[in-house]
Amino acid sequence: MYQRLKITVLPELITPGARILIAVSGGPDSMALAHVLRRYAQEQKEQGISLVISHIHHGVRPESDEEEKMVRNMARDWQIPCLIHHFDSQAYAQEMGLSFQTAARQWRYEQWEKDMEEEKCTHLATAHHLGDQGETILYRLLRGAGTAGLGGIYPQQGSLIRPFLTVSKEDILAYCHREGIPYALDYTNEEPIYVRNKIRLQLIPLLEKNYNPNVLETLGKTAEILRWDEEYLREETENFWVRYLIREEVNNKYVQPSRVGLKKDIFQLPKAILSRLLRKGVAKVTGEPRGIGFDYIETIMASQGRTGWQQDLPGVTIRIDYAGIWFINVNIEEKKQESGVEKAKKVEQQFQIRKGHSLLQVPQSVKFDEWYSWEDNEGQWWQVGLFIKEPTCEEGEIVQKVVFDAKALLRIKEDLIWRYRQGGERIFISGLGHKALKKLFQENKISPSKRDKIPLLVAKEEILWIPGIKKGALYNKVDEQEVIVGILRKVLI
């Protein structure tokens, strides 16, 4: 066992100068791992490998005190620094609202991370072996998983290494006996009270007896093949992510970290890539590494990228518009909703609003020579206004400028308002007559969600101007008439 590890496994996992934190529970697997790594470090002295042991006392079984003593004595005899941690795992599980196994595992890894930082370790070594690999694959298969899950436990993930992943439990026990390594047995592992225990104690022996005596080796090889495939697909997904990511920037910063968009072209990609892009999009805005489940992925894929499609899923809203598909963290978005007073304060702080600037609150009467500011549903701030005297626009990027007949517009100034669309409106266009706003929005690829946030300049129910889209033919400038200028600008924060 050791010779194979020394030649084919350890050189791949351990770099020269490595300082390895070994997670040692006192069981045969972790005790054998500590022995193997110590032996390897001694034989490869020129590589400068150093070791630290971390032992966690869970405070559950009466034997835990003896196990701690055994690990401490072993570390002393082998002259390896040893860290001992005590914690009440049952109380922690209750406090966190987790199962005992999940809570204990979470606490252990958090503690090991702290140990690595304090001891300046480069690697964390755990003693997962071939049996654990087979157990994990079967567990995930029974619950449902793709290639990422059925790839099982990875030999290396960042600084975490698992040198024993291709070693059987029998080989580990034989190594302990041959080398005279003491160890303790956790008899709770022999109780079929957890699903994983049942798989290890009941299902795997059944498969070995009736179907394949080498089922663990077979599962291990299958997992390795699936990991090859998954690594390739993951790399391809990253390439497509970069290609199709929509970057909406203000001064080179993302408008909203709770919102991620991808171009609709992703719906033309193979499902193996599309599904991963969808999961990645959800993971980006929710922080949940696994993204969302298969049923939700199928629901999104069935939309085929149809503009206007929207679906509320746990913790995230998926929305498709002309620009692409958007993943929106609804919890963060809700926190961003502010009262009118809070918005006014925000605008004052961000745009230094002075005389001649105000927050747009529709419906609102129009004042000439006044900037009205609002935020669209993607976090971009805009300003619009009608000006008798055209202002200098040093604070933003002009998107559209239109002109009206000043005398005509001033005659109806009491009727001018800013408001949002109400449905069914039409705008008069020279040479065409009245045209539906809905048609204009569709032609300009304005999504339904954005249409509701575009202010309209209206006089007695007649639409005069849709800022950024179209100015109507009414009250146009004729020859050298005096004009009133309408300006739409994007605010650059």
What's the predicted TM-score (pTM) here? 0.65
CB 261 within 8 A of CB 327: yes
Distances in Å between the Cα of 35 and the Cα atoms of 53, 159, 205, 269 are: 11, 20, 29, 49
Domains of the chain, by residue range, sit at 2-231, 247-335, 340-491
Average pLDDT, integer, range 235-255: 72
**Which range is least confidently modeled, 19-33, 337-351, 354-368, 378-392?**
337-351
The answer, yes or no, to whether residue 167 has pLDDT greater than 70, is yes
pLDDT digits (tens, 9 = 90+) for 280-326: 998 888 877 777 888 899 999 999 999 889 988 877 889 998 889 99
The answer, yes or no, to whether residue 337 has pLDDT greater than 70, is no
Q: Which residues pair with residue 457 across a beta bridge?
A: 418, 465
CATH code, residues 340-491: 3.50.40
Task: Give backbone dihedrals phi and psi of 340, rounded to 5 degrees, phi first.
Answer: -60, -40
Quote the pLDDT of residue 69: 92
Quote the pLDDT of residue 178: 95
pLDDT digits (tens, 9 = 90+) for 94-127: 777 777 778 888 888 889 999 999 999 999 999 9
The answer, yes or no, to whether residue 329 has pLDDT greater than 60, is yes
Quote the pLDDT of residue 186: 79
Q: Architecture of 2-231 per CATH?
A: 3-Layer(aba) Sandwich (3.40)
The whole-angstrom separation of Cα 324 and Cα 320 is 6
pLDDT digits (tens, 9 = 90+) for 41-100: 999 999 999 999 999 988 777 788 889 999 999 999 999 999 999 888 777 777 777 777
Q: Architecture of 247-335 per CATH?
A: 2-Layer Sandwich (3.30)
pLDDT interval class at 250 (50, 70, 90): very low
**Which range is least confidently modeled, 39-53, 250-264, 345-359?**
345-359
Which class for 144: exposed (0-12), middle (13-18), buried (19 or more C-beta within 10 A)? exposed
Using alpha carbons, select from 133, 132, 144, 139 the residue that is nearest to residue 195.
139
